[in-house]
Structure 1
Amino acid sequence: MMDRRQLAPNLDISRIVYGLWRLTEDPNHTPALAQAKIESCLAQGITTLDQADIYGGYASEAALGDVFGAAPELRDHVEVVTKCGIIAPVGRYADARVKYYDTSAAHINQSVETSLRLMKTDYIDLLLLHRPDPFMDPEDTGPALDALVTSGKVKAVGVSNFKPHDMALLSAAMSQPLVTNQIEISLTASESLTNGDLAYLQARNIPAMAWSPLGGGTLFNPENADLLSRLQALGTAHGTDAATIAYAWLLAHPAGIIPIVGTNSLDRIKAIGAAFNIHMDRETWFELYSLGTGHEVP
């Protein structure tokens, strides 16, 4: 049984989350294939799906809605995370002159209604503000998020890519807690482990969700050959692959980091859960950390 993390009294999520940011990029994408991916996740206890309105050029939420439309029973077995706040000149915002952020109450409410309609659901388990907005009015944004939780349209709210001071500013204008911050964490992007981002969350018992746990593929770049070689050796020793070891490295951290895995390969999806079978001792953890940063610890 896969571990779970409770984010709110009425919401707990799987310790590994399946990310849908590349769902519509699969050249073989069909609703049936997307359903097979989700069912493969469920077979391992991965019940949480990570979305955003902007994913797939604002097409990914509709793609998930197609799955729920064909197999509505799946909705009762998953938790849906989605995000809002980025306006990019593509898809339904093709007429935008520039890319910008909108965390106004009006936009958040409109975005949630659109997400509910496209995903063919009447509630969102977890809504995140996708990026910190330098033009945010917390006295407008905060109450809007509170009201969405009170209404039942959203079970809980959080943020993504926020710094501690951004979270503090928004939280000061809210009655509901921010239950997570989705930030980049990987062996090749580990700055949050030492710059205070993760410590801020850990001190408040707020789980961090880790996007791009494979460093956006940088683990496999030539400049990381030593790291990859060690990951592969550990993978062989454990009967798995380098990616699974990289996930296990994140899972081993005492902060209870929640990796978001975004592969489109069914074979790789079926192997994700193996990361929980790997015990990583402190010395191995620091060995990989040092290889990822390119130097030993001071």
Structure 2
Amino acid sequence: MTLATGSPFKHTGELGWAQGYWRLAAWDFSAQETLSFLKGHLDLGVSLVDHADIYGDYRCEQLFGNALAIQPAIRQQLHVVTKCDIQLISASNDVSLNHYDTSAKHIRSSVERSLARLQTDHIDTLLLHRPDLLMDVDEVVSCFNALRSEGKVGAFGVSNFSASQFELLNRGFDHQLVTNQVELNPLSFDAFENGAVDHLQMAGVRPMAWSCLAGGAFFRPQTEQAHRVIACLSQLATKYDTSLEGVIYAWVMRHPSRPIVINGSGKIERLASAMAKSQIILSREDWYRIWVASKGHGVP
């Protein structure tokens, strides 16, 4: 199995969206309701879906798979991303301490469980969820190559990796990592400032942007920083005749690394609104206006 020519992670691709399913267990959807939601975002052109083995206490992949089982042919329209390497204390997991595990044994067992839960024969893209300080690059690369040759995983990437951590793994992997999923929002600049996003741009691959709405902090502000940013966003929403969310997403997508935004809402109307309202191009001055509001000072 090879990465499709139209991969959403190629830097030359169109501005894109992904639908995140980390809250699926909390949405309390039936399998039919999940299928209807899935069809809804496909109708909007969002075919990239984001999962992880641990989401919903190891339940979200199964709930999604139950929906796919109703109409298996719809799987062909999806690009399924899932993640592994976080070991959580759970009734579904035999560990006594939360930790990271990039051993070949754990990666392979996670993939097998994800395939069974998702009720599919392959994962389009597998990400390592968090950096593991004990990661043996040769062991991981060997495991990746085996999973790829077996047709169980099409492509590989990482999540929350620094530029050096990305390069450490990427240099040893012949097929090249296709993305790094990082937090990008006007309250968090780590990935912009630690070289992670710069490195992706240099490598010609696109980041997946999680927590663009900062976990709801823009709607329940608890810090001076959040209040400053919200005031700025509100002014710009009026200026561009859009919504506060629209400005936030446009701010994230304005970056030349061409981030793919992950939507976390379980309401199709919110996704449709976000996609429509973010179709603005912020001026450089207004992009930095948000930066200044967040930092609380002018540019150096």
What is the deviation of 1:222?
4.0
The 1:11–1:118 alpha-carbon spacing in structure 2 relative to 1, beyond 3 Å, is: farther
Kindly indicate whether the alpha-carbon contact (under 8 Å) linking 2:243 and 2:277 is maintained by their aligned counterparts in 1: no
1:248 equivalent in alignment to 2:250: yes
The 1:285–1:66 alpha-carbon spacing in structure 2 relative to 1, beyond 3 Å, is: same
2:148 match: 149
The 1:73–1:240 alpha-carbon spacing in structure 2 relative to 1, beyond 3 Å, is: farther
TM-score where L is the length of structure 2:
0.91
Give aligned pairs, total: 290
1:277 match: 279
| Partners of 2:166 and 2:190 in 1: CA distance | 18
Kindly indicate whether the alpha-carbon contact (under 8 Å) linking 1:58 and 1:91 is maintained by their aligned counterparts in 2: no
User: What is the 5 A alignment of 1:1-298?
Assistant: 8-10=3-5, 12-13=7-8, 15-26=16-27, 28-93=28-93, 95-220=94-219, 221-223=221-223, 224-298=226-300
What is the deviation of 1:292?
2.3
**Deviation string, structure 1 residues 49-104 (Cα, Å, up to 9, x no partner):** 000000000001001101101122321111100001111001411x3110111111
What is the deviation of 1:191?
2.3
What is the deviation of 1:228?
1.5
| Partners of 2:120 and 2:241 in 1: CA distance | 39
| Partners of 1:257 and 1:35 in 2: CA distance | 27
| Partners of 1:272 and 1:91 in 2: CA distance | 37
| Partners of 2:278 and 2:227 in 1: CA distance | 25
What is the deviation of 1:231?
2.1
| Partners of 2:176 and 2:134 in 1: CA distance | 21
| Partners of 2:270 and 2:238 in 1: CA distance | 15
Structure 2 residue identity aligned to 1:12: S
What is the deviation of 1:38?
1.9
2:12 match: none
Kindly indicate whether the alpha-carbon contact (under 8 Å) linking 1:87 and 1:101 is maintained by their aligned counterparts in 2: yes
Structure 1 residue identity aligned to 2:260: I
| Partners of 1:295 and 1:18 in 2: CA distance | 34
Kindly indicate whether the alpha-carbon contact (under 8 Å) linking 1:40 and 1:270 is maintained by their aligned counterparts in 2: no
The 1:91–1:269 alpha-carbon spacing in structure 2 relative to 1, beyond 3 Å, is: farther
What is the deviation of 1:195?
2.1
| Partners of 1:259 and 1:271 in 2: CA distance | 14
Identity fraction in percent: 35
Kindly indicate whether the alpha-carbon contact (under 8 Å) linking 2:157 and 2:180 is maintained by their aligned counterparts in 1: yes
Unaligned runs of 5+ in 1: 1-6
Structure 1 residue identity aligned to 2:158: V
**Deviation string, structure 1 residues 230-283 (Cα, Å, up to 9, x no partner):** 323433454542112211111111111111111123321221321452121111
SS of residue matched to 1:219: coil
| Partners of 2:296 and 2:215 in 1: CA distance | 18
What is the deviation of 1:167?
1.6
SS of residue matched to 1:142: helix
Q: Aligned-residue CA RMSD in angstroms?
A: 1.8
| Partners of 2:239 and 2:47 in 1: CA distance | 28
TM-score where L is the length of structure 1:
0.91
After TM superposition, the runs of 4+ consecutive aligned structure 1 residues lying more than 6 A away are none
Kindly indicate whether the alpha-carbon contact (under 8 Å) linking 1:40 and 1:269 is maintained by their aligned counterparts in 2: no
| Partners of 2:134 and 2:255 in 1: CA distance | 34
| Partners of 1:218 and 1:263 in 2: CA distance | 15
